[in-house]
Amino acid sequence: MNARLPATDAQAPRDEAVVRKEAVAWYARLCSGTITDAERAAWRQWQAAHPDHGRAWQRIESMRAALLQVPANIAAPALRMTEHARSRRQALRGVALLASTGTLGYGAWRGAGEQGFARPLLADYRTGIGQQREVVLADGSLLMLDTATAVDVRFTGTERVVRLWAGAVLIETAHQRQPQQAADPRPFIVQTAQGSVTALGTRFTVRHYDDPVDGQSGGCTEVAVLEHAVAIRAGAVAGAGAAAAGAAAGNPAAANAGHQPVLLHAGQQVRFTSSRVEAVQAAPDNAGQWRSGHLLVNNRSLAEVLAELSRYRHGRLGCDPGVAGLRISGVFPLTDTDRALALLTRTFPLRQRSLTRYWVTLGPR
Amino acid sequence: MPPISLHDDSAATLYSDHHGWLHGWLRRKMGNAGDAADLAHDTFVRVLTRSSPAQAPALRAPRAYLGTIARGLMADFFRRKDVERAYLDALAALPDVHQPSPETRAIMLEALVAIDTMLDGLKPQVRQAFLLSQLDGLTYEQIAVELGVTRRTVGNHMCKAIEHCYLLAP
């Protein structure tokens, strides 16, 4: 897969099938979970080596964008069920359904979206589902990644920027950790697709939600401050790359957002979309608690608890509607969700039904 | 959809001679008179909106021709039904706070149908490997364990699925 082409041939068109196979192989490699930094660098080189490579990669992006249209926690179970239903019906009725070519008016495609294709896959620091990770940044700040999280870190002469692509982070800025040392004059900023959070000597969490909020697609960001304060600006940040491109594509609300920073103090929590910051609320007792690897639950519904646990677990985790409102209190391990489920069924009148390890439903005992 | 006019005698004949047959045929296949009527209608719309040369086969073997088009539409119909049911089931499993608005639902359903169409034709295990990787975020090692195959097989499955989607992606 070495793409070092002679310079003179660089602009000559390459064989479509060959380039396609190369793009496919690169993408398969990127998804493997074992890609090295050297390979990633080689992939970037390949992309830049020939215009045809860039075009082929666009096709991969379209494919990926198609998959990203629906939140994975809905798409994965739904697409598995359709496969199941189809094989069952074919077995029952012996009806061989003709493969459709898929050209029948599916014009509802939106563009690649503002998520920025494959960014989480290629981020500087990542965690998989059910993993947590701590990183000490160059300035001495501590960055903790929760499950399924992807961040880029860009420190320049004038600012320290953490770009959150997915998941949740807890940040203790260097000033907070070593107050006796001279403060770093560069602002410490966390950027998300919805806006930015500037640390004011502090400990805080930032979580990105993909889910549509109040019928608006595009997700939201939730910030909780544990100590001191942060300033929040909704709307894409100038120069924030992919985020700015998304907002610039005709979202008037995003264009005039971002003038009025909202100050958030210790013990407070707030959500914001790219167009507005919602009302400030008291942060829950367990804000940032995930860092301990445990989920602290005080009188919440089973549905909420399972929604939280499922972030740390592959596959689908749900419950029967009849028990969804059951009030739950307790401490559950996040890094071992099998044990958390065992704890739930032991402590509460629940029974676990598992289709596979990736398909678990809790029902009444 | 543009207004349909039976501008052509042969089209009118086609409709009057075979609509009853097509409706009955679809009703037997689908077990629902209302859906069958809709699809019979859609089938004729398909035939009538095609340019005239394409109607040649309709005149030679009208029922085979209508049946072929109806079968394709039926496959799309069942796909949509399957996806819709699965989508609603998946939604029902979410806590209320995450329930999307009707508009978002419609967009997501459309997107899911398109994804399902894109994945159409993949062997079940290939499809499974692809979903575990792309939607559940599993590594190839984890997928290999889940499917009980080697890592190498997972890699091959992934290349097959990615190339398939590469060609079919919108």
Nearest to A86 among B82, B112, B131 (CB): B82
φ/ψ bin of A226: left (φ > 0), alpha (ψ from -120 to 50), beta (otherwise): alpha
Note the ipTM here. 0.75
User: Which of A279, A308, A364 minimizes the C-alpha distance to A73?
Assistant: A308
State whether B170 and A87 contact (CB < 8 Å).
Answer: no
For A291-328, letters b (16+ CB in 10 Å) and e give: eeebbebeebbbbbbbbbbbbbbbbbbbbbeebbebeb
pLDDT (tens digit, 9 = 90+) per residue, B21-45?
888 888 888 877 778 888 888 887 7
SS3 A168: strand
Distances (CA, A) of A101 to A104, B44, B119, B167: 8, 19, 11, 12
Q: What is the pLDDT of residue B95?
A: 67
Residues of A in contact with B82 (CB under 8 A): 81-82, 85-86
Q: Do residues A120 and A166 touch, judged by C-beta distance below 8 A?
A: yes
* Each residue's pLDDT expressed in tens, for chain A with a length of 365 residues: 554 544 445 578 888 899 999 999 999 999 998 888 899 899 999 999 999 999 999 889 888 888 888 888 788 888 888 877 666 555 444 333 332 222 222 222 222 233 333 445 556 788 888 888 888 888 888 899 999 888 888 888 888 999 998 899 999 987 766 666 677 788 899 999 899 999 987 899 999 987 755 555 678 999 999 888 999 998 865 444 333 333 333 343 433 444 678 999 999 999 998 888 999 999 887 788 888 788 878 788 999 999 999 999 887 888 999 999 999 888 888 878 888 898 898 888 999 988 777 788 899 98
Q: Which residues contact A333 (CB under 8 A, 6 or more apart)?
A: A293, A294, A295, A339, A340, A343
* Number of Cβ pairs < 8 A linking chain A and chain B: 203
Contact A91/B at CB under 8 A:
no
pLDDT (tens digit, 9 = 90+) per residue, A104-152?
222 222 222 333 334 455 567 888 888 888 888 888 888 999 998 888 8
State whether B141 and A34 contact (CB < 8 Å).
Answer: yes
Distances (CA, A) of A94 to A87, A89, A97, B94, B111: 10, 7, 9, 34, 28
pLDDT (tens digit, 9 = 90+) per residue, A215-237?
556 789 999 998 889 999 988 65
State whether A97 and B169 contact (CB < 8 Å).
Answer: no
Q: What is the CA radius of gyration of chain A?
A: 23
Residues of A in contact with B90 (CB under 8 A): 73-75, 77-78, 81, 316
Give me the count of residues in chain B.
170
Q: What is the pLDDT of residue B52?
A: 55
Q: pLDDT-derived band of residue B1, with 50, 70 and 90 as boundaries? A: very low
Closest-approach residue (CA) in chain B for A56:
B166
Nearest to A78 among B90, B95, B96 (CB): B90
What are the structural domains of chain A? 7-68 (no CATH), 119-282 (2.60.120.1440), 293-364 (3.55.50.30)
State whether A81 and B85 contact (CB < 8 Å).
Answer: yes
Q: What is the pLDDT of residue B54?
A: 52
Q: What is the pLDDT of residue A106?
A: 24
Rounded Cα distance, A127 and A169, in Å:
11
Q: Do residues A264 and A280 touch, judged by C-beta distance below 8 A?
A: yes
Q: In what order do the strands lie in the sheet with A350-356?
A: A316-319, A359-364, A350-356
